[in-house]
Amino acid sequence: MMPQVRDSSASNAVPGCGPLIPPLSDALRPLRQQIFERVRAAGQIARVQVAKELGVSPASVTTGVSELIEAGLLEEVIAPREGDAGRGRPAVALGVRACAHRVAGMKLSDREHTAVIVDFAGNVIADEVVQRTPGAMSLPQLFQAMETLLDSVCAKAGIERTALTALGLGVPGFVDSGAGQVMWSSVMADRGVDLAALATAHLGLAVHIDNDANLVTLAELWFGAGRGLPDFAVVTIEHGVGMGVVVNHRIYRGAHGLGMELGHTKVQLDGALCRCGQRGCLEAYVADYALAREASTALNWVGKDGQSINVLLESLYDHAKAGNAAARSIFRRAGRYLAVGLSNVVNLFDPSLIILSGERMRYDYLYAADTLAEMENLAIATGRPRPPIEIHAWGDLLWAQGAAALALSAVTEGLLAGNRDGLREVAAQ
């Protein structure tokens, strides 16, 4: 198959996606996979630069690139050159063939479901948000919600569901990503469900699942502030409290895939009831349902039982901004518990960056100066600076984008981690 050269000189620079792993640090995978991921991370890159960064010969890169172009996964692009006066041969770089595969990412949550479709280069093609009534769903209800959302976002993208290669799915709770199993989730009525296998059979599409906090972390690793960082932590504050940790450019999930449950670390013995069924969890003092519970008691909002948590939280925040002492004390108390959780993250992992992520982060009382100062006091005093903290008040679409990154990663592994015969099969399709 003769390679086709796409002209990108008239367009903006391609940002790329995926972890920006330092050269010569990741040589355990097949060379063609390293080449592909290096190209995808760069957006556009010359062959000679790929060889230099991977520490291999240009001839080896040329062989690997030829296989990837033959399989339709990479393409040659005419790259813009600074000071190019139009004379001589144009610069040719490598880029991912974006149309080679499309994947969907989806997050199911307590109050809304979100989905995106991205191409093989990580560009978002379409997105969709569907509001829902809170409450645990039976498996038939869950599959119906997934099917409806998937069909809707596919319609927006102008494609059939059969055009998708894989689906990444995120749910809150305890998820063993490797086994495809959900041990417990607030959106599911059943426990110990082999959700990946069941959803794959129901949708006729390969489904990969993970805890939703890990997916926000993947979104930061692939598309955001964590791309060039070897180690960082993401703490999510939404309907619950979650955490994802990246160690050496990889998500750390623990021995059984159930690690990093910051929201269910205990901050008070025999404390407030958490939705997981135990008491004293950090989440039971910081999450939205905890704030709403405190507001109903402290502000005597007995007549607001039928209102949504979002409405209650907005009202609580307005009262706090207006100077209501009880409302302020609720946020202050939650902020102190958050400081305990963040100091534990610092003491345990010493990350280079902590990202506080989620729509709830617009409630700045949660991370006010006194909260961060208390975190400083609770962290071990070493004389060295604490990790910086960034606030990312993203909506739920970021979580779905992380789910799409999970699907992209799985598809890439499936295509490139095997032998050359598998790549030839891709080329023949």
Does 176 qualify as catalytic in the annotation?
A: no
Contact 173, 162 (CB under 8 A): no
The alpha carbon torsion through 35, 39, 45, 49 (nearest 10 deg) reads: -30
| SS3 per-residue string spanning the chain | CCCCEEECCCCCCCCCCCCCCCCCCCCCCCHHHHHHHHHHHHCCECHHHHHHHHCCCHHHHHHHHHHHHHCCCEEEEECCCCCCCCCCCCCEEEEECHHHCEEEEEEECCCEEEEEEEECCCCEEEEEEEECCCCCECHHHHHHHHHHHHHHHHHHHCCCHHHCCEEEEEECCEEECCCCEEEECCCECCCCECHHHHHHHHHCCEEEEEEHHHHHHHHHHHHCCCCCCCCEEEEEECCCEEEEEEECCEEECCCCCCCCCHHHCECCCCCCECCCCCECECHHHHCHHHHHHHHHHHCCCHHHCCCCHHHHHHHHHHHHHCCCHHHHHHHHHHHHHHHHHHHHHHHHHCCCCEEEECHHHHCHHHHCHHHHHHHHHHCCCCCCCCCCEEEECCCCHHHHHHHHHHHHHHHHHHHHCCCHHHHHHHHHC
Query: Using CA atoms, how far apart are residues 319 and 173, in angstroms rounded to an integer?
Result: 31
Of residues 211, 244, 234, 263, the one with CA closest to residue 107: 211
The phi, psi pair for 5, rounded to 5°, reads -105, 120
- 289's tokens: 């349902």
Catalytic residue among 119, 212, 231, 396: 212
Distances (CA, A) of 258 to 4, 165, 213, 242, 267: 45, 26, 12, 12, 19
* Residues forming the active site: 212
